[in-house]
Structure 1
Amino acid sequence: MAGRSGFGSTATMIVTNTPAKDLAYTNFAYCSPSDLRSFSVSGSKLAFALVGDSFVLSVSAHESIPNGHIALNAIQRRHAKVSTGDSVSVSRFIPPDDFNLALLTLELEFVKKGTKDEQVDAVLLAQQIRKRFINQVMTTGQRVTIEYHGNGYIFTVNQAGVEGQVKSNSMERGMISPDTYIVFQASNSSGIKIVNGPEVLSKFVGETEKNVRDLFADAEQDQRTQGDQSDLHVIIFDEIDAICKSRGSTRDGTGVHDSIVNQLLTKIDGVESLNNVLLIGMTNRKDLLDEALLRPGRLEVQVEISLPDEPGRLQILQIHTNKMKENSFLAPDVNLQELAARTKNYSGAELEGVVKSAVSYALNRQLNMDDLTKPVDEESIKVTMEDFLNAVSEVRPAFGASTTDLDRCRLNGMMDCGARHDHIYKRTMLLAEQVRVSKGSPLVTCLLEGPSGSGKTAMAATVGIDSDFPYVKIISAESMIGLSESSKCAQIVKVFEDAYKSPLSIIILDDIERLLEYVAIGPRFSNIISQTLLVLLKRLPPKGKNVLVIGTTSEVGFLDSVGICDSFSITYHLPKLKTEDARKVLQQLNVFSKDDVDAAAEALNDMPIKKLFMVVEMAAQGEHGGGAEAIYEGKARINISHFYDCLQDIVRY
């Protein structure tokens, strides 16, 4: 389908090779700068050539191409049935209006025959194709080369549908735009069809359901002709949640998602259900799937692939470093066993990212920043243990204990704040141990209450870190700024759902009154979030999963009035510091002379620990203090009179 297009006069040009290897992957044809004017589209920077009445190529100028010559890569020459030195007819192509491709179906194969077991993320590849070949014209039957993640691929255009255009017997072609849907097909020799859920969707009414039916067409034909002797057909839906959401949950006005589910259910176990199909769906949002899809006879076998344990992480690291070791790129000090222990909660993809990041650190040492053209001495490249440790610091796991967030909750660390604080810390750690070993307490909840600044959040974070649980997450109001009530509830639920995937988890509900949007005047709060927490605090985790929930609040009276206090197994009160407690903290900080410690401690009686740190840091900024950073180095010496002045400011305001 050429469309209503304008053609310049046909010329004969001599075929030559693409001037550089990297240009072969651009899918451009190249000509001399003077010849480029013959292919330019008026009022545009684009230039197109219809080559041999078969396909349209974007054209660019190159100084090395003589006049009257056109440079084509090997795939283009093969498709045009010409060789270097042959003549080929070429004419200018002017794209018609409404020429953007709505759907592009591509069959993928390797440039080098025999390449096997290479996994390709079809969604990312589609993004790359849209980016690299934007505004290029694709014609059915055309073959194009692309380099992706170090491998050379060839894709053949099987379908090129322009939106609003009725399919005809003429040649189909159109221009790639950012909105082009790209669907990949495996070659017929593979025996598998691989489908990405998002790519099944179509903007054409009824087209999406047709795409689903087409997936089963070969299997239906085999069953009709061969019966029980039919070969097994494997259909894999990646990101199946994109197309099989619960019916009625999507309000887009079209009902297309509901139709997809209905169509798929019909194919799986309808009147003409197929017995020669193995259907595999993959998702990380099982909760979004329609329940009917998970019933017996459908996707009934559900396998949860959890994060790798330490032996699994070691195997993954060995796989990704095996070639490095064989080629002597791995330094002798690299300890994969230690790295496996350090990378708790890392997924396989994240471990691969650690290895790549470590290689980047090693390569950076070989780069000469004063002369970037200087070649890299590959023989001297060694990836060291330090490179891997830097990579682990750079690549953080998306799942599990968020140590950065927890450390931010206790900037001053944990100090001996007296017998009461120490007792509560030990009792809370015992609760964590109870969760770890108990068979009858899969859910334990603990509320830390006390005045603002009394160290509740710091203690909860310390328990989270010291417990060494694989999953520790903190839910705080500051991470939900700007979210609606329903969005906050969804985020809270997701943290709990993620916790249920780990054998041992700690969830910290920090400042619960702020999570509930509590306002003292009224009082007013979010009933939706309150009800969500009440349900989650009483819902038992799945079998084999144990959870400790630690809540903190400065408004225990309010929480009691709305029934949340009753949802916690135990409540501990963190008090303000008494004189003897303050003395212990000051002695550990070592910021006063021995003669002044008792007087300062007496002045700090009935002071929250957070305010103690504040007044001490303020006093350390004085003339003789040495600065706040000197406090934690044990070098600060605070003048007692200046300390009293700062304390008056704290008390006054």
Structure 2
Amino acid sequence: MQVLQVSNLPTNRLALTNRVYLNPRTLHAIFTSPESSTYLVSVGGHPYIADAHESVEPGQIALNGLQRRHAQFSLSTRVEVTEFRPDPEAILSSLEISVDLLAKKSTGAKPREIDTDKLAEDVINNYVNQMVQLKQILAMDFEGTKVELTISKLDFLQEGSSSPYGQITGPTEICFRKASKSKLVSLSGSRVSGGSSGGGNSIFLGDFDFEKLGIGGLDAEFNRIFRRAFASRIWPVHIIKQMGITHVRGMLLFGPPGCGKTLIARQIGKILNAREPKIVNGPEILNKFVGGSEEKVRELFADAEKEQREEGDQSMLHIIILDEMDAICKQRGSNSGGGTGVSDSVVNQLLSKIDGVDSLNNILLIGMTNRKDMIDDALLRPGRLELHVEIGLPDKKGRNQILNIHTKNMREANRISAAALANLDMVAEKTKNFSGAEIEGLIKAASSYALTRCVDVKDLSKPPDEKNLILKLEDFERALTDVEPKFGAKSQELKALYRNGFVPYGETFDFLMSTMERLVEQGNWIVTNQVVTFVVIIILTSLFDFQCDPPIKRL
């Protein structure tokens, strides 16, 4: 061990090596029998590679300013210097480094473009076998530019390693991210880490199961949303630039009430590695003061704009969920703002924020509505809310998934009978035209029968019979008479019209029936192995004159 005095480096050029320098005689006194050509020393508990330099006085050790600042040494401080033997657990498998320019003064010029693939090669060549620790700052000359490298993440080859230091080796994988709030550099290449808006591969928070998220019957819709809105965001930024495309910035979820539009929007926010979603109902944006509504729209995008300026392509994704969108985004010129033109101004403000001159690449606007026909056409074009996904009534498979989701807690607590579980498929068959919300209401209605059965209504002072609280199949059958779907034909009313069936009366009737059956079949299209029901409008013209020419009925 040697006690040496901290001094300056002999030349500024040596500051870019991240090494410490000693007089040759001092170095040989520490390493009496060196085992390799690399001299690792501990300087006051901080490990560095040491080199000999004739200009360093005996009894001194030369450190650069970044090393002294990190170790909190001042000039002339006396420190203990010993030989350092690295722990095998300290070998790094990967290393993340944040990048900035060493000179922080902004000149107003474009950010310095840095190829991270070349930078990774230079880091390995310059710092192989060196020891680093979190928040340590290194200075390096990269293609004539002095860059500041800050160690931001260490991943060790041996899992569970508790070493405070990591050793860089040839196989160590190195990735980079732009320093926080830096506007001086722009990173490109395949070694860029983080940033889910620009194509970091960490946009999803691991694997996810739709049923665990409480979503049933929407697998096809989720697959389409993933393909259109998120597939491009998984790829690195430079690949998307090579493809010459931009990310989808907005999507519109539309369909009947109770089918899961709000649910799917909220769950998208949960499964993404993104900023906390901003959820706002359309009418909440309206303000009684002039310009107040437009200001609220600008506030929704303010955080995304700020991060885009500071982080660039490494900005996180910002999600804005706008429910009841038809309340504020009606067709312009329709006088929907009560003569004030507020709705028109809100639409104009949204258009400029989504796809204006300074359009953002780190946002995803999710709009929801029951009335797609009322939304202004300019919002629905590509580049804005270009992805339109209809969230319709679930099919039998979807209804089965929804029933399983809402009976999950009952199954785990053994509060549902085996017969009811075995016949959930039958319940799904009987709930045709039910929305997801109506199926949830059906289960609540069935549960009410089970709860009432275990209560003595004649003497409510008695405690309920918890042991026998079981949801049975007959509870579902009784609940089916309580809850009726809003959509679809009124079966009881229709049955009353043909109690004795149909009596064919000739060729005209047969032709009409075959035509109607064909039209019904046309309303069911098979899309990706799933039956999708569309509304078909039929116009019948009467053969008789009822003072109309011709009389028309819409079915």
The normalised TM-score by structure 1 is 0.39
The structure richer in helix per residue is 1
Q: Which has the higher contact order (CA 8 A, sep 6+)?
A: 2
Name the TM-score, length of structure 2 as normaliser: 0.46
